[in-house]
Amino acid sequence: MKNKLSTKKIIRINTILFFIGWLVILLLGSDFPPPIGFLWAIILIILSDFIQYKYLQYFIPQLRKKTKYLFSHNLLFFTMSSALLSLIILLLRYPTIHSLTWIENGIWILVFSILGGIYSILFYFFNKFLLYFIKKDNH
3-state secondary structure the chain: CHHHHHHHHHHHHHHHHHHHHHHHHHHHHCCCCCCCCHHHHHHHHHHHHHHHHHHHHHHHHHHHCCCCCHHHHHHHHHHHHHHHHHHHHHHHCHHHHHHCCHHHHHHHHHHHHHHHHHHHHHHHHHHHHHHHHHHHHHC
Q: Where in the sequence is the domain holding 117, given as residue range(s)?
A: 2-138
Looking at residue 111, its pLDDT comes to: 92
pLDDT in tens, the chain (139 residues): 566 667 788 888 888 988 898 888 888 887 778 788 888 888 888 988 898 899 998 898 888 888 899 999 999 999 999 999 888 888 877 666 567 778 888 898 899 899 999 999 999 999 999 888 877 655 5
Q: How many domains does the chain have?
A: 1
pLDDT for res 64? 87
Q: What is the pTM of this model?
A: 0.79
